[in-house]
A = this chain, B = another copy of it.
Amino acid sequence: MVAQTPRLSHLLETSIYVADLDRAEAFYRRVLGLERFLRDDRMSALGLPGNAVLLLFAKGGSVEPTPTDGGGDIPPHDGGGSVHLCLAIPLGELARWEAHFEAQAVPVVSRITWPRGGTSLYIRDPDDSLLELATPGLWPSW
């Protein structure tokens, strides 16, 4: 008898490790319109639609355990590079996003139409990470 894996709800947090926290936070707030939930010297937490949170960490700032009020430490973590992240957008917002990126002087570095019908726009953040905005029609689930 194989035990079933317990259930997951959804992807809650993902992290980007950045060289300059102020610069990265300013970009995500201005260009994507994200709401700040928390900010300190170590990190910025930005709310995303769909009950998720984008975590921006100062690179090298979380390599020691971080104590918490509730007892227990957040274990060390760190990362780097120009990573890839994708945000879903409604099909009806695609043209508005293209106009918005133009108005914000953020170049769209690639545009792809997928076999399932979705369209992706790619932009770069200040740390050269690759952000994709995608309409429905990429994956079996979406």
Is there contact, CB below 8 Å, between B7 and A112?
no
Is there contact, CB below 8 Å, between A82 and B79?
yes
Complex CA gap A88/B10 in Å reads 5
Is there contact, CB below 8 Å, between B37 and A7?
no
A105 near B: Cβ within 8 Å? no
Q: How large is the interface on A (under 10, 10 to 19, 20 to 34, 35 or more residues)?
A: 35 or more
Closest B residue, CB atoms, query A82: B77
User: Besides A12-B88, A81-B81, 17 other CB < 8 A contacts?
Assistant: A6-B33, A6-B89, A7-B89, A10-B49, A11-B14, A11-B88, A12-B138, A13-B132, A37-B141, A50-B50, A53-B139, A55-B84, A68-B114, A74-B122, A79-B79, A79-B81, A80-B80
Complex CA gap A89/B122 in Å reads 30
Q: Which of A61-99 contact B (CB under 8 A)?
A: 62, 68-90, 93, 96-97
